[in-house]
Structure 1
Amino acid sequence: MNTHLPYSLLPHSITESSCRIVYVWRDPKDVIVSMWYYAQKILGGADKMVTFDQFYEHFYQGLNSYGPIWNHVLGYWEESKRRPEKILFLKYEHILQEPVKYAKQLAHFMGCPYTKTEENQGVVEQIVELCSFKTLKDFNVNKYGKSQTPVNSYIANACFFRKGEAGDWKNHMTCEMDERFDTITKEKFNGSGLQI
């Protein structure tokens, strides 16, 4: 199952069960850009578009579907510190830099680590390639397929794919926006041990 729910809203059937949770977070500034593009694809039509500046301001104020980004990240971060056997807390940018390392960490966390034979045969690298952003984006089902939403409408699977890169916020934010967001993020994460 995948979800955007904050940890505090997960049902007890998940939080109190033996199931494991993998939480992947990314630089909140890239989250803003990603969500803005996604919203534009969903809304469609120039008359419904929200400018990036407007979207940034709403996001900065914590006004988005999943609540303030800092609370969302900190909820999973704090629980991962309390129960590391329950929650694996990963950063998207780190996964992009060392996908094989994190594929091994994920397999170990899930209780099915790779064998030495599998590692020597390049199985981990093959899985990383099969699960890469480019490979997934190029599947016909993701180019042309649709997914049903909870309200019985459909959305093109292509809406879920854009660049899959880190740092694209630099192409959208002014220096002032960048500094403003860094300041509030440092303030919100202060004392948590979590570094952006």
Structure 2
Amino acid sequence: MASIQDELLQEQILKAALQLYQQYGLKKVTMDDVAKLLGKTRTSLYYYYKNRDEIFEAVLDMVVNDFVNDIANAMDKTESINEKLKVFCLSKIKITEERKAIFTSLEKSVDPDTQSTHSKTMMAIHKRLMKLEATLLKKNILNAIEKGDIKELNPKNLDSFIFIILSGTRGIKREMSYDNNFTNLNYVVNTLVEMSMRWLN
């Protein structure tokens, strides 16, 4: 079991790597660069990560976990399932936009020789993000059912409802991103959630 000190050092390694990725792009960052930024030796990094590919994947995991945790924290500040769903959609879109530069920097300088591996990694991370988001929604919806705020849902309907919320949110974000115009974001999200809530009730 990792000690608190080990966990802190791993977090420092990943944050340092992310900082360097954003500055120089993935291709140009080496284990030596990360170690130098931390004031550590390269050998000390190998205790936690075998190579820079492992660091890259761990950085992506960190970004995804932070992303979902921020959405969860925002949802926890509301009471009704209606408000929680609205906060989920709005937070997902806003945080995605705020952190778009992170993902852009991670992708912009990928070597063509490693493009295939990189694409597979990004797809795996995308699926992980979707799974975590679905789990977060499911937890909040089941809590609302338990409190009697909404009707019981069988597993198929629950999964379908979650899919609709996730797909609808991604669609709203994608379409508004094309014109970089989020003026009507609150109205559109409210409409999506209100329509969904009518079915739940």
- TM-score, shorter chain, exceeding 0.5: no
Indicate the structure whose relative CO is greater, using CA pairs within 8 Å and at least 6 residues apart: 1
Q: Which is richer in strand?
A: 1
TM-score normalized with structure 2 length: 0.31
Q: Which has the larger radius of gyration?
A: 2
TM-score of the superposed pair, with normalisation by structure 1: 0.31
